[in-house]
Structure 1
């Protein structure tokens, strides 16, 4: 086990560019970021990592992952598989927020919480949202506020579905009550209390959220709508939502069918939103990992189904920076500092003294993963896992690092 790690000479993005620095990790926290750091006490177990020629960035915060899988819209045989530890770590994800989607019957909140604890034990940081697509929300304790106050891993609600034929067709009053309960629970528990919102391709777009806050004390920032790159009409509505003070999320998992039928690729959506003047801290990308990605005809008939990939988050970042000339700090912000702030995860998403030691060494030219450190523990080295999930490799290999 590595007690102290010293990373030497990396180009640090916190996600703001800090230049070439050394970073010292003690336990699970960042102890120092400075020039020419050295640890002279030879009695301490120290691992020195050469970061020269590499980029050091915060670990990714994936704000929407179905890490127990989802109920497939094509019947029981299409229920999607669970996420494994290296699905996250090889994609640079050190913090993941698990949700339920369409299926809250065969996929349950207790199952979601159990998987969150398992992944936390294996090496990454995990949180959950209570609820699912439907209102009234499924909860653990009986109501949203109690779940947020009494269950440490529950930090918000969602993903509530709107503008979608699979939603429960929530009324304005129902959306308000969910947001109010999340707000109060978040305040009392010191959590974000955000409401993650699945937005479908319906004609109402984001209007249900504007209606929910109208003539109330609620803020648009109480809602965290995702899939905003689903089509150009929703993308443009998302820009309006952001200009009004809200935050929006682009989904990196997709299908060739969706891209050919009007979906805006997440990297392109991020690039366009930044060029439109939306601040980087109001824009995020998430993977929708292990979700079912159904393809429907205009009549609602299921044409096919694929599975969301956590590693699509890394690929979208690489595309944004290397092909679309998005500033690296802005691209990193969308998968680190911005989702962490929106979700109220104060220890995550930044490289700063006292923050959790979640970080990535990236190859400068390709932005591929070299090293992943989560909570001060090295999980990936030289692009290969050194820690595996319990059922990914024989038990004797699960304590590497």
Structure 2
């Protein structure tokens, strides 16, 4: 890739990027003598383009979610093209409210299928409830034994749909995920769904104060429900936990609020909640309506935060790439550096429109069109 402006995510200026097989081999001036080598070589003119890492989406309902309005409101499985057209090259799958008709083994199979189709995939073990469903007998064993499992989640707190667990039950689950991560060399995080309830993040603050739980093993999402919840999340992030904004029409506004109120940008990520349900409840907990989240919203809000809200690429790119890789211990993801996986986006400089998407060195989107689709698309 010649003459693109590289954000790695830090700005490196105009550079060439050499990809060999599925890895980044070099960033910097690449000699034209490489064209003389007796190998199949493709040269992409990246003039006028931004080159950045592929987006990592840490919260996707790969096999669907929902069901809060009955069986007809169960959302569908995601398709490969929905993911790659959004500039996403790595996803983390999860279950939601339903851990009965949605199964961990089905989520694992879907993740493996998407990996075979070209992207990188991981999953959390569990769902909203505590005790939470697993593939083996425990959260710890899942992390140690199952390759794709990198943490527990999404565990619901401050929500009428949660199992209303005690602080001690939550602490035990987080500790189990932590030990599983230690023994398997994985993140071992617990990913929390935070609802609109009045307790907000009280349990998570309490766990860090009363138990021997490293703050970085706590990762909570849906923090943009109210200013009070956002303030609570800012305080939690200052203690070393990771916090996540679910992409929506007001993400850029919340991003600004987070910064203005002293939020630690290194502890913040964005996610899509892709193919999860978007239920609307009244003040009595009655379901009033339901929709389906899209992974494309994550890309749209990344762009809007830069172009409409005026934040810089160096401020926003880490929130969808390197920060997420750090939170989830994905050491070969989220950064453009020699030896890392060749997950790369090329965006038009002025509009940030997606031009090319590469996942592990394989081109998935070319000139804005998806060229690799799922098996049944």
Q: Which bracket does the TM-score occupy, shorter chain normalised? A: over 0.9
Q: Which of 90, 107, 110 lines up with 1:95 in the alignment?
A: 90
Matched with 1:26 is 20
Task: Answer yes or no: is the 8 Å Cα contact 1:11–1:54 preserved in 2.
Answer: yes
Matched with 1:184 is 179
Q: How does 1:82-121 map to 2 (within 5 A)?
A: 82-121=77-116
Matched with 1:137 is 132
Q: Deviations over 1:127-162 (max 9, x none)?
A: 000010000010011101110000000000000000
Matches of 1:12 and 1:277, distance apart in 2: 28
Matches of 2:165 and 2:30, distance apart in 1: 57
Q: Deviations over 1:213-267 (max 9, x none)?
A: 223221222110000001222111111112222221000147xxxxxxxxxx222
Q: How does 1:55-94 map to 2 (within 5 A)?
A: 55-94=50-89
Q: Which sections of structure 1, spanning at least 5 residues, go unmatched?
A: 1-6, 255-264, 393-401
Q: Are positions 1:206 and 2:191 aligned together?
A: no
Normalising by structure 2, we get a TM-score of 0.98
Q: Which sections of structure 2, spanning at least 5 residues, go unmatched?
A: none
Matched with 1:371 is 356
Q: 1:150 to 1:46 in 2, by over 3 A?
A: same
1:104 positional shift: 0.6
Q: Which of 141, 154, 158 lines up with 1:159 in the alignment?
A: 154
SS at match of 2:245: strand
Normalising by structure 1, we get a TM-score of 0.92
Matched with 2:10 is 16
Q: How does 1:285-296 map to 2 (within 5 A)?
A: 285-296=270-281
Q: How does 1:2-401 map to 2 (within 5 A)?
A: 7-38=1-32, 39-253=34-248, 265-392=250-377
Matches of 1:72 and 1:326, distance apart in 2: 37
Task: Answer yes or no: is the 8 Å Cα contact 2:62–2:110 preserved in 1.
Answer: yes
Task: Answer yes or no: is the 8 Å Cα contact 1:372–1:381 preserved in 2.
Answer: yes
1:69 positional shift: 0.2
Task: Answer yes or no: is the 8 Å Cα contact 2:35–2:41 preserved in 1.
Answer: no
SS at match of 1:334: helix
1:330 positional shift: 1.6
Task: Answer yes or no: is the 8 Å Cα contact 2:158–2:200 preserved in 1.
Answer: yes
Task: Answer yes or no: is the 8 Å Cα contact 1:252–1:286 preserved in 2.
Answer: yes
> How many residues are paired up?
376
Task: Answer yes or no: is the 8 Å Cα contact 1:253–1:289 preserved in 2.
Answer: no
Task: Answer yes or no: is the 8 Å Cα contact 1:98–1:127 preserved in 2.
Answer: yes
Matched with 1:396 is none
Task: Answer yes or no: is the 8 Å Cα contact 1:253–1:288 preserved in 2.
Answer: no
SS at match of 1:46: coil
Matches of 1:272 and 1:14, distance apart in 2: 25
Q: 1:197 to 1:295 in 2, by over 3 A?
A: same
1:36 positional shift: 4.2
